[in-house]
Structure 1
């Protein structure tokens, strides 16, 4: 089988299953691990995939805002690892804000009944945390976005302006050295959440770095901690050091990166 034909079949597999591992490529196409690695490198160079530890996922289409249920299908192991590390930063007795992103929802999943107060505009996180008796939930009120499963609008921003909390966890769809971007409605809420916290913790996997959306809502001066899944390049490391932003990366899984 020619490489181009095999690469097309890899893409078709990703469209059906959302992700593929190197071992699956080896098994499916009866090739060596080095061949699988070369295929993924070439696909990455063509911007057809995003390589992960041990495999690949499909990139999100630029400027596309999918429904919350659709985004839940793409909660990768990398996002779950980011969420788990973020949850470890929460201390008993703290009041925290969780935004409506799927990466932050992974943080909510890992609170494990910690005694804390959670303020959120995410219906999904509120429902998830309702099973934890030690967690007090304050669900913000406003207009309901049925597709994205979050509450938005002026009442949300107004209520947030009266809070002063210990930590806020913000998931970012687009981040560059210039700052953070999202849809306008979502961006305004995230900005107020960031202003309401003593410590701002940004969560984003490496695929979000360099991506821009239409509304820039904040810059790095508001951020204390950045959690991502891979070590960024030297330019980013130097920038984060200059901005005095702590960089945290989850411990690697047993599966090694290609």
Structure 2
């Protein structure tokens, strides 16, 4: 086996087990300890792993954040299902916060109820909802992030402090047993303020977000009321969600609920 093939196999093993030791590399690939160490050094140089005493681990911090347009297309059908399920939870006359998540955008696309007042920091969501005659849209002011198309800043937070709503529809870049995270501190402060000022918090997260940990911590699991996702979370994650009395809605496999 060539080194490049072995490196790919090591990464595949680590995606399942999250770590690997020098001894495991030697046993799995029938190579010497020196070769195993060289493989670890190579993977670290490529930015895939972090070396530890006697082996390596996968970085726990996910720094890869695709552009808004790329995120819009990723898992698009899944996001549409989640957005449709979120829209079905709304009632006529609800006052809402909607953050700038691409999954929340799908909820806006599938909105069927009426007489809403909606506050958002997403001009994409504001654009979708502006065509609905029975909906009043408040677009928060502030600074526009050109890559990810959200509005943030001191003015955004100042405006948010004047509002109180029934429900918040919020996406997340990462959800673990420790809570929700986001890659951008600036957007994170806006999301935190929305969470403080909503009576019910509904998180929309497809399966790719589970186990991901980003730079900025939004909140612990205790802040969530409802989680809408497309797959059953793995046992430890599901247990943590249930311990916090979070209502889990799963859009696939016959709309299972927990």
- Give the structure-2-normalised TM-score: 0.72
Map 1:179-198 onto structure 2 (within 5 A): 179-182=179-182, 183-198=184-199
Map 1:201-240 onto structure 2 (within 5 A): 201-240=202-241
- Preserved CA contact (<8 Å) 1:168 1:197: yes
Cα distance in 2 between the residues matched to 1:173 and 1:109? 20
Cα distance in 1 between the residues matched to 2:70 and 2:186? 19
Rg larger in structure: 2
Cα distance in 2 between the residues matched to 1:161 and 1:187? 15
Match of 1:10 in 2: none
Q: Deviations over 1:104-150 (max 9, x none)?
A: 10110010362211110001011011111111100000011122122
Q: Deviations over 1:16-73 (max 9, x none)?
A: xxxxxxxxxxxxxxxxxxxxxxxxxxx986859xxxxxxxxxxxx9412222222222
Higher relative CO (CA 8 A, sep ≥ 6), structure 1 or 2?
1
Q: Alpha-carbon deviation of 1:159?
A: 1.4
- Preserved CA contact (<8 Å) 2:83 2:103: yes
- Preserved CA contact (<8 Å) 2:99 2:121: yes
Q: Deviations over 1:154-197 (max 9, x none)?
A: 11112112211000011000111111111111111111111110
- Preserved CA contact (<8 Å) 1:113 1:135: no
Match of 1:74 in 2: 74
Change (3 A) 1:141 1:77: same
1:150 aligns with 2:144: no
Aligned CA RMSD, in angstroms, stands at: 2.3
Map 1:53-202 onto structure 2 (within 5 A): 62-112=62-112, 114-182=114-182, 183-202=184-203
Q: Deviations over 1:217-254 (max 9, x none)?
A: 2111111011110111222222122101111111437x
Cα distance in 1 between the residues matched to 2:121 and 2:87? 18
Cα distance in 1 between the residues matched to 2:210 and 2:69? 23
- Give the structure-1-normalised TM-score: 0.72
Q: Which runs of 5+ in 2 are unaligned?
A: 1-10, 17-60
- Aligned residue-pair number: 201
Cα distance in 1 between the residues matched to 2:202 and 2:165? 12
Q: Deviations over 1:191-221 (max 9, x none)?
A: 1111110000011011111101111121111
Cα distance in 2 between the residues matched to 1:81 and 1:87? 10
- Preserved CA contact (<8 Å) 2:171 2:205: yes
Q: Which runs of 5+ in 1 are unaligned?
A: 1-42, 49-60, 254-258
Change (3 A) 1:73 1:245: same
- Preserved CA contact (<8 Å) 1:195 1:222: no
Change (3 A) 1:125 1:75: farther
